[in-house]
Structure 1
Amino acid sequence: MTSNRWSDLDRPPLHVTALRKAIVTPDGRWTSLDLVEATGSTNSDLGARAREGAPEGAVLVAEEQTAGRGRLDRQWQAPARSGLFFSVLLRPSAVPAHRWGWLPLLAGVATATAVARTAGVDTGLKWPNDILVTVGGEERKTGGILAERVGDDAVVLGIGLNVTLREDELPVPAAGSLALAGAKVTDRDPLLRAVLRSLADWYGEWLGADGDPAASRLQQAYAAGCTTLGRTVRAVLPGGGEATGRAVAVDDDGRLVVATDAGKRAVAAGDVVHVRPAGE
């Protein structure tokens, strides 16, 4: 971790006072916003606060994560101030629990639309929780979402987004960043504000529809932005089995429907190791 917050002038620190003023408002969704220089995982930290009774709407942002996690405990690490690394606490107790599986997909729609509008880059959603951009004609992952249930009434949503990551800093060749995709805006302050506002709007719509993905327009919006649909994919399952076929839909439970030679199969996000174009 770099001790001087201004050591890289291309990566200035976030302005927490201005962010709080813009995001934490009396009639808004977000009730607090805290910024830390570095932590292992914002999801772990906010999850601990949730267990202690923190209210819905708490936002925790880190300038650097040293032990960030994605799905299936995959690591998510990036240089300090090179991206957005944050978590939000939701308590959707009024929504039936069987619909909570839509929350990471909701976060994907909210993040992708906000980034496209603010940064001026085309974004896509790779089912279930990856944000894609195009770098040199190739789709690359620039963001990911991790939803973790805490107790009986809380969900912590973690969002990681590569903003100014350079080619020589990429953890894997399939990774990307907004800068590498030619973003017109890489200032993290307006990007974070845009994502949080979009997330609040979509969450409000979803709550107002009692979590119904169709009535809240979430299911349609996700399908419209999902680059997985229409492709031949290979879903590798934890037990070693796999389903290969054409991804044809996202069903009412947020599962990916794959048309295989043996018929249609719905694959739940929790059962998937990866979903890739066949032969990749």
Structure 2
Amino acid sequence: MTPPDAADNRWSDLDRPPLNAAALRRALVRPQGLWNSLDVVGRTGSTNSDLAARAAGPGLAEGTVLIAEEQTAGRGRLDRSWSAPPRSGLFLSVYLAPSGVPAERWGWLPLLAGVAAATGLARSAGVDMSLKWPNDLLVTIDDAERKTGGILAERAGDGVVIGMGVNVSLRAAELPAPHAGSLALAGAVSTDRETLLRAVLRSLEQWYGRWRDAEGDAASSGLQAAYAAGCATLDRTVRAELPGDRTLVGEAVAVDGDGRLVLATGDGLQEPVAAGDIVHLRGAQGGLT
């Protein structure tokens, strides 16, 4: 017999009800739509790893969605771990295979997912969202920027697996780090995960369709402008911690056509950053924000 306090017991936390997979499928899976299958699992190591393993074999269709109530080995950028209590957030991955889009433009997919998530969550949760380059989701709590979500994209098979983790109902004592936040702590008008999931996946379908129809052109699809408008990194002094233990400090002045962050350095040069960890600074020497 399952103990009443088990993590997968539907009555273990009445403030965090389980997802209704059938209702989500009725709302999101439809003929000629992007999402063709949607599954919810109670617990897994990583939804990204699960979909990537399936993509390595035959038959994984574009538009496959995998959602977990709990991840025990969730991964973020730079091999960081991501953990949260069961049913406290959105933990999902989707498989996209943008045929017709040149592979060199696929680097926009995690940024596209960030725009889609921020747009969908702002509408459904009623919380102001912003993006930290390249793909962190930020909210403001007590006048401080807090990370409430992140996105990880990985090439897999003939496409890309995009994973997303968003803290929804985490309480202050449950936050994994001082700089973390949640939608609830940011004053969300709704923390119903099904409402949030529907909004995020519909927004992702719309942005992906627009970008794909433009053959991956971020400018003509409006994606580049939308990302810049929602990016909290721009017009800030930042420190870029780059591969090879190289560090660069400068003002973030633009996101270019390849999705790179352009930094204006003290010597008057502009240098694009394609990969690395970005730290927002308050000033030339600055504290973290």
Q: Above 0.5 in TM-score?
A: yes
CA distance in 1, matches of 2:127, 2:50: 31
Q: Distance in 2 between matches of 1:61 and 1:105?
A: 20
1:33 alignment counterpart: 38
Query: What is the RMSD of the two structures over their aligned residues, measured on CA atoms?
Result: 1.0
Q: 1:91 aligns with which of 97, 110, 117?
A: 97
Equivalent of 1:69 in 59, 63, 75? 75
Counterpart-to-counterpart distance in 2, 1:120 and 1:104:
23
Structure-1 separation of matches of 2:82 and 2:111: 19
2:152 — aligned with what?
146
Alignment of 1:104-143 (within 5 A): 104-143=110-149
Number of residue pairs matched by the alignment: 277
Q: Secondary structure at the match of 1:244?
A: strand
1:240 lines up with 2:249 in the alignment: no
Give, in whole Å, the separation in 2 of the partners of 1:48 and 1:234: 35
**Alpha-carbon distance, 1:241 to partner:** 1.3
Please state if 1:223 is matched with 2:228. yes
Cα shift at 1:31: 0.6
- Say yes or no: does 1:160 pair with 2:151: no
Task: State the distance in 1 between where 2:277 and 2:271 align.
Answer: 16
Q: Say if 1:233 and 1:247, in contact at 8 Å, map to a contact too.
A: yes
Q: 2:126 is matched by which residue type in structure 1? A: G
Secondary structure of 2:147's aligned partner: strand
Shift, 1:274, TM fit: 3.2
Deviation of the 1:5 alpha carbon: 2.2
Identical aligned residues as a percent? 68
Structure 1 contact 36–61 (Cα < 8 Å) conserved: yes
Match of residue 191, structure 2, among 181, 186, 191: 186
Q: Which residue of the partner structure matches residue 3 of structure 2? A: none
Instruction: Say yes or no: does 1:274 pair with 2:278.
Output: yes
Asked if the contact 1:2–1:80 (Cα under 8 Å) also holds between the matched residues in 2, the reply is yes
Q: Give the corresponding residue for 1:7.
A: 12
Answer yes or no: is the 8 Å Cα contact 2:8–2:42 preserved in 1.
no
Residue 108 (structure 2) aligns with: 102
AA matched with 2:217 = D
Q: Deviations over 1:161-217 (max 9, x none)?
A: 000001000000100000000000000001000000000000000000000000100
CA deviations on 1:14-44 (whole Å, 9 max, x unpaired) are: 0111000011111211010011000000000
1:52 corresponds in structure 2 to 57
Aligned to 1:250: 255
Determine if contact 1:127/1:275 at 8 Å carries over to the other structure.
no
How far 1:59 sits from its partner (Å)? 0.1
CA apart distance, 1:239: 1.3
Give the gaps of 5 or more residues in structure 1. none
How far the C-alpha of 1:238 sits from its partner, in A, is: 2.3
Q: Secondary structure at the match of 2:85?
A: coil
Aligned amino acid, residue 11 of structure 1: R
Provide the rounded CA distance (Å) in 2 between the counterparts of 1:3 and 1:275: 37
Q: 1:212 aligns with which of 214, 217, 242?
A: 217
One-letter amino acid of the structure 1 residue matched with residue 279 of structure 2: V
Q: 221-230 vs 1-10, which deviates more?
A: 1-10
Match status 1:173 vs 2:171: no
Contact 2:238 2:278 in 1 (8 A): no
SS in 2 for 1:26: coil
SS in 2 for 1:46: helix
Asked if the contact 1:248–1:257 (Cα under 8 Å) also holds between the matched residues in 2, the reply is yes
Which residue identity lines up with residue 124 of structure 1 in the other structure?
Answer: S
What is the one-letter code of the residue matched to 2:280?
R
Q: Which amino acid is 1:39 matched to?
A: T
Task: Give the Cα separation in 1 of the matches to 2:51 and 2:156.
Answer: 10
Code of the aligned partner of 1:257: V
Which secondary structure state, in structure 1, belongs to the residue aligned with residue 48 of structure 2?
helix
Provide the rounded CA distance (Å) in 2 between the counterparts of 1:120 and 1:23: 21
